[in-house]
Amino acid sequence: MDSKRAMVLRMEGTNNEEEAFLSLKRSGFDPDYVHINELVKRQKFIDDYNLIFIPGGFSAGDYIRAGAIFAARLRPFLNDIRSFIDSGRFIIGVCNGFQVLTELGLFFDGERKIALTVNESNRFECRYTYIKLSTKKVFYDLGNEPMQVPVAHLEGRVFGDENTIKKLIENDQILFKYVDNNGKYAGYPWNPNGSIMNIAGITNDAGNVIGMMPHPERVYYQFQMSGIERKLKNGTGERFFNLLYKYTK
Amino acid sequence: MDIINCSDNDLDSIGNSLSLSHDEMLLIRNYFIKLNRNPTDIELQAIAQTWSEHSCYKSSKFYLKKYLSNLRNERTILAMEDDAGVVKFDDEHVYVIKMESHNHPSAVEPYGGAATGVGGIIRDILCMGAQPIALIDSLYLGDPENKSGFLSERFIINGVIAGIRDYGNRLGIPNVSGSLYFHRNYNTSPLVNAGCIGIAKKDKIVRSRVQKAGDILILYGGRTGRDGIHGVNFASKILDLNNNENRNAVQLGNPIVEEPLIHATLELNDMNLITGMKDLGGGGLSSAVTEMLSAANLGGTINLDYVLLKDENMLPWEIWISESQERMLISCDEKNLTKIKEVFDKWNIEFSVIGRAEHKKNLEIYYKNEKIFDITLEFLTTTPVYQRPYKKPKKNCDSEPFNDNDIAKSIISVISSLNVCSRAPLVRQYDHTVRGATIVRPLTGLPNMETHSDASIIKPLEDSFAGIAVTSGSKPLLCSIDPYCGTMESLIEAYKNIIVTGSEPDAIVDSLNFGNPENEETMYSFVETLKAIRDFTERFNMQLVSGNVSFYNKNVNDIMPTPNIMMTGIIDDIRNAITTEFKNENSLIYLIGSINGSLAGTVYSDIKNIKCYKYKKSNLNELFDVYEIIKNNRERILSAHDVSDGGLISTLIEMSIGNNIGFNVNLNEIKMGLENKLFSEHGTAIVIEVPAEFEDIFNKKGIKLGYTCKNINVNDGNRNIFSSSIDDISNIWNSGLSKYL
């Protein structure tokens, strides 16, 4: 059993699953679409996978807090998810997936301490920006260069009280920060949502629960990038998913 | 209702309530006299729905057949037949395209109208068995300062955009291309043209018809409710905005019902369980069942008791014509029902078997053990056809001489005008990168400093570098001066948009928006439009594969003739796509093809209020030359952009914005008046950037305008016309829309 199985978890309104599936596959994973109903009916099991990827979208329409309903439907499986995390395997949520993980409180041992709230611009923001690695817990091979990534969300502004943010910094839980094309911290539109400290993604203390708003799965290849980055050897996604594969046990 | 014995006056008032004419009511009366009974409510409603302008194209069918029949080529698989056009993509795949207007609903309820327009067009693609991969929308909206309408223009504009955004984003289909056009002529009467592209294996295409007698009909997805009653009827007449019933005619959209619907439908299709399929749009069940059966020359029996309802108190005729959203109808072999149920269960989708196709002439409908409908499909589908008279309008007022003594100021006005300025405030609200297959986005260049693309490019397949380019738009101002030439220029612009990306023009879809067809001058512009589409399609050996006609778009006057042209192209390798932003300093800038020179129907003459109606036809042979030049030199071209809205000066400025590279040009070699060369939007011209080493090659192909550099500088002979930093002009260009969106 050499293959690394990746679960691409979905429910109605999940809609970024295809590019997630393909990106995982391109980097060597053996991906599998799993509908939440298949977990409920016990046709598929969390423990059978080496990695869980919760893609973006508008699960259940996000008519109430984004990700809240998906999280509620996952809650019966919380024990399975906890043992999955405790075993050191990666669970990664992008965009709506990040919102789901936040709702489940998986970044703070079950406590829902941060929120992903409505963008400061008060509108859906679909644009390209740049991120830079911040933590030393994971993805250290990415280096310190700014990487081009697309964002597309209405609720992506990381928000938490002073203590929570302090703890995030102390624990080195900030995964990515938004920067401009020169790698400098800058305001809107480079930080597209007004996140505190330009936070684009975070991890749990152990570094294996990963949540981020930007979409590396949309820019796997350089020809999916914008501007001069189209001439690079590979896209941000390829670097990201190859590392994810490397780190996955 | 007694229509057999009632007076002619009563007959007409019944007809009026159903948007049917006196002659049409007489046909119905005669049919039922032969049956020796009166129609039931549901029969009368079904006839009114089937015979509505929206459903049967009675005013346009004659001319559509005359001019637009058989515009196919060797790549055409289905044209003008089913719910969408089908075109060859590669040896194993086809792509499916369609564009449709949703104008009347958007005028009454902008958010819901536009949202359901998106939902409907996606189902049109889906029901062919294709995975939707891209949305396109062209919007024609009123003057945002207008507050005198039933709804304020600002409310309509923001409602329409929000409706498209919220529906498309929730479904995860990228909104990649389109156009946005403002003019007071569209006050209170917005045009919302929504298009969609899908991809499918060629053997997975599903026809919009039942395959064989005995097949069962399954209705699935959203439940049937009272929303969208009489939608087709109200779209078939001039809107009375004070009529409250209109609001009930607008459907309610729920994208989160549609999203799993797409997955489940494609899964069923992959398993070969579907024999025929149609989405439920205008006319609801009435339209879908009737068309699916009659296209197969079959009759059938339907039992309305099995239709799942939002409201149990609905009357049978309401059930039959309700246009509730997110519903699909499939025919399938009864023996597969268990497998079908499993798929629906996985996706939590409700469904019911509502009837069966049979070898007979009639459609019969039962409700609560009573037969309430029994007429032949032949009568129902032999819809009226009108050869509406038309006449050429009296000549436009004469052109008047004008004098522009501040060209630099005019350039700023054009660049900041609503129809030229940056579309970013709109485009960034639409998710245009979801699915990760948008290779050339509607915005291109350095992130957060992008400029406009001409056509967007989608890469539909994981294992192929081939792509589909798509563009959409129209030139209504020129169409209102000369409908033939305006349509032709719209087609030329679409063609240029495709070729400047390095793609091969492939297929055309028309969405024809016009005023009242009973107005002879409007009908003239309609017929002239069709002639232009035919002439262009034949001249370039292209294909016209689908389209729609929307009449009765009117406020005080009929709207400008607005033939919206959606065009696709194929690029063999998306890695070679050309984008619009300048790539390097010290490259050479060439004008290829020629600027028409006419200022008729341009942004410039509109905002300067210049009376200018003179127009000379552009040379189509020259357009073909431009195509050949790009095709043969694709790897030598660094960037390319067509000359269109706002003229040559806007083209150059847009090319400089996306990558912060300016230009120094001299327009001396373009032989026409300065205003004409700067602002004429018509003709075959494009601007390209090439490395200096290819000077000899391109000197033979076009006019060398100058070179790329740090700032912007425009000369005409010895005279300096305009200078600016890129930052300054970019700020002006970027700020035009943000005031309103």
- Tell me the per-residue pLDDT of B472-502, one tens digit each, with 9 for 90 and over: 999 999 999 999 999 999 999 999 999 999 9
* Nearest residue of chain B to residue A37 (CA atoms): B346
- The torsion angles phi and psi of A74, rounded to 5 degrees, stand at -85, -20
Share of chain A above pLDDT 90, in %: 92
**For residue A63, is pLDDT > 90?**
no
In 3-state terms, chain A is what percent helix, strand and coil (to 5)?
A: 35, 25, 40
pLDDT at B230: 75
- How far is it, in rounded angstroms, from Cα B480 to Cα B490? 12
State the Cα–Cα distance between residues A15 and A55, nearest whole angstrom.
Answer: 7
Q: Are A91 and A54 in contact (CB under 8 A)?
A: yes
Q: Find out whether B577 and B502 touch, Cβ atoms under 8 Å.
A: yes
SS3 B571: strand
Angle at A213 between CA A209 and CA A218, to 5 degrees: 105
Other residues' Cβ atoms within 10 Å of the Cβ of residue B741: 18
* Residue B607 located in a structural domain: yes
Chain B residues whose C-beta is within 8 A of a chain A C-beta are 165, 169-172, 254-256, 259-260, 345-348, 427-439, 441, 444-448, 450, 459, 462, 574-575, 581, 658-659
Res B241: pLDDT:
59
Residue among B131, B164, B259 with most chain A CBs within 10 A, to mutate:
B259
- Kindly list the strands in the beta sheet with B438-440, ordered across the sheet, starting from the edge strand earlier in the chain: B438-440, B456-458, B467-473, B562-571, B504-513, B543-550
User: DSSP E strands: which ranges in B147-211?
Assistant: 175-182, 191-201
Q: Would you state the structure tokens that stand for residue B11, as one six-digit string?
A: 């007959």
Q: Is the dihedral of CA B619, B178, B174, A238 positive or negative?
A: positive
The answer to whether A226 contacts B441, with C-beta atoms less than 8 Å apart, is yes
Burial A219-242 (b: 16+ CB within 10 A, else e): bbbbbbbbbebbebeebbbbbbbb
Range of the domain at B704: 580-741
For A87-215, where are the alpha helices, taking DSSP H only? 96-104, 162-170
Residue of higher predicted confidence among B255 and A47: A47
Report chain A's mean pLDDT, rounded to a whole number.
95
Residue with tokens 């409710």: B225
Hey, how many other C-beta atoms are within 10 angstroms of the C-beta on B688? 27
From A151, A157, A131, A127, select the one nearest A66 (Cα to Cα): A157
Nearest to A102 by CA among A156, A39, A64: A156
Is pLDDT above 70 for B245? no
- Between chains, do B433 and A218 touch, taking CB under 8 Å as contact? yes
Residue bearing tokens 């044209």: B79
Mean pLDDT of B53-75: 93
Closest CA–CA distance from residue B740 to any residue of chain A (Å): 14
DSSP E strand boundaries for A21-100 = 30-35, 51-54, 90-94
Tell me, what's the pLDDT at B248?
A: 61
Nearby residues of A21 by Cβ (< 8 Å), 6 or more positions away? A8, A31, A33
Q: What is the pLDDT of residue B235?
A: 67
Mapping DSSP to helix (H, G, I), strand (E, B) and coil, where does residue B72 land?
Answer: coil
d(CA B339, CA B346): 11
B54 tagged catalytic = yes
Q: Give dist(CA A124, CA B553) in Å, integer.
A: 31
Instruction: Note the pLDDT tens digit of each residue in B144-199.
Output: 999 988 889 999 999 999 999 999 999 999 999 999 999 999 999 999 999 999 99
How far is the C-alpha of B373 from the C-alpha of B222, rounded, in Å?
A: 24
Query: What's the pLDDT score for residue B396?
Result: 64
B422 burial level (CB within 10 Å; 0-12, 13-18, 19+): buried
Q: Give me the percent of chain B exceeding a pLDDT of 90.
A: 88
With beta carbons under 8 A apart, name residues in chain A contacting B441: 226
Nearest to A129 by CA among A21, A223, A229: A229
Any idea what the CATH number is for the domain that residue B608 is in?
3.90.650.10
| Best residue in A8, A10, A11, A15 for a mutation probing chain B (most B CBs within 10 Å) | A15
Query: What does DSSP say about strands A5-10 and A30-35: parallel, antiparallel, or unpaired?
Result: parallel
Separation CA A121–CA B401 (nearest Å)? 47
Q: What is the ipTM of this complex?
A: 0.96
| Least confident stretch, A62-66, B3-7, B118-122, B428-432 | A62-66
Distance from CA of B133 to the nearest CA of A (A): 11
Is the residue at B629 inside a domain? yes
pLDDT per position as a tens digit, B589-611: 999 999 999 999 999 999 999 99
In sequence order, the 6+-apart residues with CB closer than 8 A to the CB of B249 are B105, B108, B228, B229, B230, B231, B233, B234, B323
pLDDT tens digit sequence for B196-234:
999 999 999 999 999 999 999 999 999 999 887 776 676
The pLDDT, as a whole number, for residue B251 is 67
Mean model confidence pLDDT for chain B: 94
- β pairing state of B327-332 and B216-221: antiparallel
Residue A1 in this model has a pLDDT that exceeds 60: no
Residue A217 at interface with chain B, using a CB cutoff of 8 Å: yes
- Name residue B71's amino acid: L
Token pair recorded at residue A79? 């024990």
Give the CA angle between residues B120, B121, B122 to the nearest 5°: 90
Residue with structure tokens 């129809």? B419
Q: Is B466 exposed, middle or buried (0-12, 13-18, 19+ CB in 10 A)?
A: middle
State the distance between the two ends of chain A, measured CA to CA, in whole angstroms: 12
- Residues of chain A with C-beta less than 8 angstroms from the C-beta of B172: 15-16, 57-58
Average pLDDT of the segment spanning B582-595: 98
Q: Which of B726, B645, B686, B652 is nearest to B449 (CA)?
A: B726
B467 neighbors B425 (Cβ within 8 angstroms): no
Q: Please enumerate in sequence order all residues whose Cβ is within 8 A of that of B634, keeping only pairs 6 or more positions apart, or say none.
A: B502, B576, B578
Q: What is the pLDDT of residue A165?
A: 95
Establish if B679 belongs to a structural domain: yes
Q: Chain B contact for A103, CB < 8 A? A: no
Nearest chain B residue to A61 by CA distance is B256
The whole-angstrom distance between A207's CA and the closest CA on chain B is 27
Please tell me the predicted confidence (pLDDT) of residue B249: 64
User: Is the backbone of residue B365 left (phi > 0), alpha (psi -120 to 50) or beta?
Assistant: beta
Rg of chain A, C-alpha, whole Å: 17
Confidence class for position A60, pLDDT limits 50, 70, 90: confident
- Hey, is B266 helix, strand or coil? helix
How many distinct structural domains can be found in chain B? Answer: 1
Q: Residue type for B401, please? A: P
Q: What kind of fold does domain A5-247 have according to CATH?
A: Rossmann fold (3.40.50)
Strand partners, B666: B715
Task: State residue B37 phi and psi, 5-degree precision.
Answer: -160, 165
Contact B143, B102 (CB under 8 A): no
**Per-residue burial over B706-715, b = 16 or more CB atoms within 10 Å of its CB, e = otherwise:** bbbbebbbbb
Half-sphere exposure of B413 (CA within 13 A, CB side): 16
CB-CB neighbours of A170 under 10 Å: 8
Distance CA B435, CA A21 (A): 11
Size of interface A-B (CB pairs under 8 A): 112
Asked whether residue B677 is domain-assigned, the answer is yes
At residue B244, does pLDDT exceed 60? no
| Catalytic-labelled residue, pool B22, B93, B102, B641 | B102
Helix (H) or strand (E) holding B478: helix B476-481
